[in-house]
Amino acid sequence: MKRIACITSIILMVASTLFAASLSANQIMTKVIDTQKADTAALDLKLTLIEANGTQRERRIQTLSKTVGDETSSITVFLSPESVRNTRFLSKEVNGQTEQYIYLPALKRVKRIASSEEGGSFMGSDFSYADMASTTYDTDEAIHTLIGEDTTTYTVQSVPNKKTVYGKNVVVVDKSNFLPLKVEFYDLDQKTLLKTLVTEQQDYIGTRPITKVLTMTTMATGHATRLEIVQARYDMPISDNYFTQRFLETGR
């Protein structure tokens, strides 16, 4: 009896320790954000548009981003094909608000993306303009709830507390590195699944875990967009001049 009692005590002690070490939804999402955070990043990307019938169109783009304090700026330049070459997209956080602009070479002009257009398709892809800013929410931007957990993943529901194009997100997080494995995007009714973002491949650059390949799929059409990081560099000097109206218009 003493031996059984001793074993039981050990089991209870271990269970208690594990329970105490469990993370809250806010802690999980903070780790998700921190894992992907960088002062600067330069990414060479392959973007593939996939029709429901399997037809594919490939685009090559380059993205530069820089974070100062809590505000991130990014510039995306389309390199190919010729039909979209030199299209440039600027996203800036200014005083807590996101400003977005796109330069269309065919029109030779800059267009500001209005808040009413945030849910629109970004260059024919399954990513919206809102997605280009972020696909997860900071802890002060949403109410996060841990709705599932197993040995390898957490599942967190995020209901935004500010106006956005989605009613809620549900993200499955890898426990080993806190990268999102899957994100579900729901309509404002919080019931209708609009899109899913699935990680197809992970990788490491040094000790930094990265999502190497991911696919966004629109439920209503079956259209998908696959995004692959061909090359990535982090935390190197990037001039502020890239994140200006001048560079957006001229590419210089």
Task: State residue 70's pLDDT score.
Answer: 83
Give 17-39 as a DSSP string: HHHHHPPPHHHHHHHHHHHH--S
Whole-number Å distance between alpha carbons of 146 and 96: 26
The pLDDT, as a whole number, for residue 9 is 46
If you average pLDDT over residues 35-55, what whole number do you get? Answer: 95
Residue 230 has pLDDT above 80, yes or no: yes
State residue 141's pLDDT score: 86
Whether the per-residue pLDDT at 156 is higher than 90: the answer is yes
Residue 157: other Cβ atoms inside 10 A: 19
Token couple for 158? 């995020």
Residue 115 has a pLDDT of 84
Residue-wise pLDDT for 55-93, tens only, equals 999 999 999 999 998 889 999 999 999 999 999 999 998
The pLDDT confidence band at residue 6, using thresholds 50, 70 and 90, is: very low
pLDDT of residue 194: 98
CATH of domain 24-250: 2.50.20.10
pLDDT higher than threshold 80 for residue 134: no
Residue 17 pLDDT class (50, 70, 90 cuts): very low
Query: Which sign does the torsion angle of CA 199, 127, 162, 93 carry?
Result: positive
Q: Quick one: pLDDT band at residue 163, thresholds 50, 70, 90?
A: confident
**Which two three-digit tokens encode residue 119?**
């849910």
Q: Is the pLDDT of residue 136 over 80?
A: no
Is cis: bond before 81, omega within 30 of 0?
yes
Structure confidence at residue 133 (pLDDT):
78
Q: What mean pLDDT comes out for the span 147-160?
A: 96
Average pLDDT for residues 104-120, to the nearest whole number? 91
Assign 205 a pLDDT band (cuts: 50, 70, 90): very high
What residue ranges in the chain does DSSP mark as E strands?
Answer: 40-50, 56-68, 71-80, 88-94, 97-104, 109-112, 142-149, 153-160, 168-174, 180-186, 193-205, 208-218, 224-234
139: Cα separation from own chain's centroid: 15
Q: Are 26 and 139 in contact (CB under 8 A)?
A: yes
Residue 16: the pLDDT is 40
Rg of the chain in Å (alpha carbons): 21
